Amino acid sequence: MAVTTAKSAHRHPVAPRAKRMASRALIYAALLFWTFICLFPIYWTVTTSFKSAVDVTQAHLIPWVDFNPDWKGWRSLGLSPDTLFETSTARSEFVNRFINSIITSVGASVLALILGSLAAYGLSRFRYKFAWMRNDDILFFFMSQLILPPVVLALPFLVLYKALALLDTTFGLILLYTLTVLPIVIWIMRDQFNAIPVELDEAAFVDGLSAWGAFLRIILPLAFPGMAAAFILSLVLCWNEYFFAALLTSTDAKTLPVMVASQTGSQGINWWSMAALSTAAIAPLVLIGIFLERYIVSGLTTGAGK
Amino acid sequence: MQSSVDIADAVPPKAGMKRAVRRRATVGRILIGLASLVFLVVLVVQVLHAAGAIAAGFSTWRPILIVYLLWAIAFGTAQVLIRGERGQRALFLLPAVFFTVAVVIFPTIFGLYIASLDWNLSSIEGPHFSGLDNVRAMLSDTYYWNALGNMVFYSVAVLGEYAIAFALALLLSAEIRARKFFRVVFLLPMMLSPVAVSWMIGKSLLEYRFGPAATLARYLGWDNPAFFASPWMARFTIQAMDAWVSIPFIMIILLAGLQAMPKEVQEAAKVDGANGWQSFWHVTFPIMLPVSITVLIIRIIFKLKLADIVINVTAGGPGGATDTVSSFIYRVYRDRSNVGYGTALAMVYLLLIIVLLTLVLRLSKRWTQRVT
């Protein structure tokens, strides 16, 4: 490649170099433009949580230059330095919703990881036959639930949960969220198990381990990267889920997205407190996105490159 | 569930062992029988109690859930007792199957039943059977058809998301510095919850009076930057917000596809004297076609569930212009508590999705095979 460029450079001394510079500049301009599109809404939300009314209406953008940052939004949530140690109903509600979100999303992700890993290992190693269904059909049966829109299940679940006294409970939400991420976990974990050589299982069998012994002692520790990817991806999906939570919770089990949504609905809510609430709701995800991006990407791209 | 394994546990057992195995199998069958009996008895008692025929019973249906769980555990144990090694293997799959049956299959069938009821949760009289009345009402419900029409628009718009995502993936796979930084930044919108995005962009950035986007639009010469006033503008704005959230997903998968592409192909095109556009159109794009079709189908499946942003930003307005099927049914329930009708709408929607998706999968299979 170097040879060809040298040759053409010889023929046209200036043009290719300038052309390459231009295309470089174009690439970086495009990259920076999209970076701006991705980051500006986040920047705007975070800064707005520090603005007073005048700064919002006059569209001041840069802290310390355009406006003096103030803990305004955070004070209304009870999360600013001066209110942090006082009692605050707003804060206790926020903390309550935050903990609900954590319990629900972690609970559902763990449950989905257990059920999904077992099923994925079975599908990857053994051949099943259930009526007319073979392994591929069983896998398709699990994957086909991705197609199901939440609305189809929402109203039957409303009626069922009422009868089961599971409305507005964290456990009820965990069951539903597990169901929504289970296909994804099975998909990722099956790919992970397929990547681990069968010879390892066979060696374990020769050593006298049962199928479960081989799975728990030998294979599962090796499958850690896939499990991490599946877990983090499920966590993000469950954390952001709104539709079921809005229909099935009312007071006790409300999650963070429902709280954010109920605040946007009320007119005349202060921008700064709304901005603070949004910032607090997206902060864990931004951190996950920055530090655990590797797992998210590997989870999403499972099987894509083949 | 029967599980057949290639390598049968074929060692001929001795007579004593054979008897022990047979005894274990009998215990297993008795266990299944007992568990099923308990399950049935509790179910019948509860149904009769709910119908008012007998006094004995539970105040809620929760015991049914517990009995189902016990039955599932008994069934799993019995599998191991009856089939031994093969039963242990079946045990890997059984939890997920029982879970799915309880949480997907049963509610869907139950939903079909609800769909045939005239049932308004807020009215005093309970549900009563109305057959296909709900479907008949649906046929003349212009709002529902309008929402279906909007779904077509939103689904077609996936092509636009795809084009942008492909461009971004190409940018990220070019020789650039700080690739990791750009990748993380480009991925961020996907992580944010649609509800937070609804406020961050829909309600504040695009705010008519002093949102920065409106200010910018005024500066660029659009006097009246109302993003949600006219139907088409509102539809495009909602679509743009959904694109902002979902482009990273398409981009990441295309990027993985680009990175898996053999480098020699690109270089061969370069040696043959192809310019940038030619090598993209004749080499990169055809190679990426299978990945592209896969990601487009997945994306459309997810698009068909679009609801959060619409519910929170426009609530379907103006005049239902931005309604998705999901957000419309959500309002049918929220505003009118009409469970029967809402479920019927959802069931028809599911049926449409299944039919269309089967067609698309068939077509795409043929198409990708012809190309590759």
Type of residue at A306: K
Same domain, A94 and A218: yes
CA distance A301 to A295: 10
A70 located within any domain = no
Same domain, A116 and A172: yes
**Mean of the pLDDT values across residues B52-77?**
84
**Which residues from B are below 8 Å from A146, CB to CB?**
301
pLDDT at A134 over 80: yes
pLDDT at B4 over 70: no
A16 located within any domain = yes
Query: The complex's ipTM?
Result: 0.85
- Tens-digit pLDDT profile for residues A26-78: 999 999 999 999 999 999 888 888 887 777 777 677 777 777 777 877 877 77
Same domain, A37 and A105: no
User: Among A35, A138, A182, whose Cβ lies nearest the Cβ of B182?
Assistant: A35
Same domain, A195 and A295: yes
Stated as kind and residue range, the H or E segment containing B117 is strand B117-118
CA distance B7 to B156: 49
In this prediction, residue B6 has a pLDDT band, given cuts at 50, 70 and 90, of very low
- Tens-digit pLDDT profile for residues A151-177: 888 888 988 888 888 888 999 999 999
Same domain, A24 and A128: no
Q: Hey, are the CB atoms on A155 and B171 less than 8 Å from each other?
A: no
pLDDT at A95 over 70: yes
In this prediction, residue B151 has a pLDDT band, given cuts at 50, 70 and 90, of very high
A22 located within any domain = yes
User: Among A118, A129, A152, whose Cβ lies nearest the Cβ of B111?
Assistant: A152
Rg (CA), chain A: 26
A225 located within any domain = yes
User: Among B185, B191, B199, whose Cβ lies nearest the Cβ of A278?
Assistant: B199
CA distance A139 to A123: 8
Q: DSSP letter at A217?
A: I
Distant-in-sequence, close-in-space partners of B312: CB < 8 Å, separation ≥ 6: A242, A261, A264, A265, B194, B195, B198, B199, B202, B203
In this prediction, residue B3 has a pLDDT band, given cuts at 50, 70 and 90, of very low
Domain of A229, in residue numbers: 89-300
Handedness of CA B308, B312, B316, B322 (dihedral sign): negative
Q: Hey, are the CB atoms on B346 and A149 less than 8 Å from each other?
A: yes
**Mean of the pLDDT values across residues A104-127?**
93
Q: Hey, are the CB atoms on B171 and A30 less than 8 Å from each other?
A: yes
Q: How many residue pairs bridge chain A and chain B with CB atoms within 8 Å of each other? A: 294
pLDDT at A115 over 90: yes
- Tens-digit pLDDT profile for residues B86-107: 888 888 999 999 999 888 888 8
Taking the CA of residue A222 and the nearest CA in chain B, the distance in Å comes to 18
Taking the CA of residue B44 and the nearest CA in chain A, the distance in Å comes to 16
3-state SS assignment for residue B321? coil
**Which residues from A are below 8 Å from B325, CB to CB?**
149, 151
**Mean of the pLDDT values across residues A129-157?**
86
Tokens representing residue A177 in the block: 């969220």
pLDDT at A8 over 50: no
The per-residue pLDDT for B98 is 92
The per-residue pLDDT for B9 is 47
Same domain, A98 and A37: no
- For every residue of A128-186, DSSP letters joined together read --BTTB-HHHHHHHHHGGGTS-HHHHHHHHHHHHHHHT-TT-HHHHHHHHHHHHHHHHH
CB–CB of B174/A28 below 8 Å?
no
* Maximum mean pLDDT: which of A251-255, B26-30, B166-170: B166-170
CATH at A168: 1.10.3720.10
Burial class from Cβ neighbours inside 10 Å (0-12, 13-18, 19+) for residue B120 reads middle
Q: Among B43, B88, B92, which would you mutate to test the A interface (most chain A Cβ atoms within 10 Å of its Cβ)?
A: B92
A2 located within any domain = yes
**Mean of the pLDDT values across residues A271-284?**
86
Taking CA–CA distances from B247, the nearest residue in chain A reads A38
**Mean of the pLDDT values across residues B141-160?**
91
Q: Hey, are the CB atoms on B174 and A274 less than 8 Å from each other?
A: no
Taking CA–CA distances from A279, the nearest residue in chain B reads B196
Same domain, A94 and A30: no
Distant-in-sequence, close-in-space partners of B97: CB < 8 Å, separation ≥ 6: A119, B1
pLDDT at B294 over 60: yes
Taking the CA of residue A153 and the nearest CA in chain B, the distance in Å comes to 7
Task: Domain count for chain A, please give it.
Answer: 2
Taking CA–CA distances from A264, the nearest residue in chain B reads B199
Fold of B139-371: MetI-like fold (1.10.3720)
The per-residue pLDDT for A28 is 92
In this prediction, residue B287 has a pLDDT band, given cuts at 50, 70 and 90, of confident
**Mean of the pLDDT values across residues B287-292?**
87
Residues above pLDDT 70, as percent of chain B: 94
Q: Hey, are the CB atoms on B307 and A260 less than 8 Å from each other?
A: no
Same domain, A282 and A182: yes
pLDDT at B257 over 50: yes
User: Among B215, B253, B267, whose Cβ lies nearest the Cβ of A300?
Assistant: B253
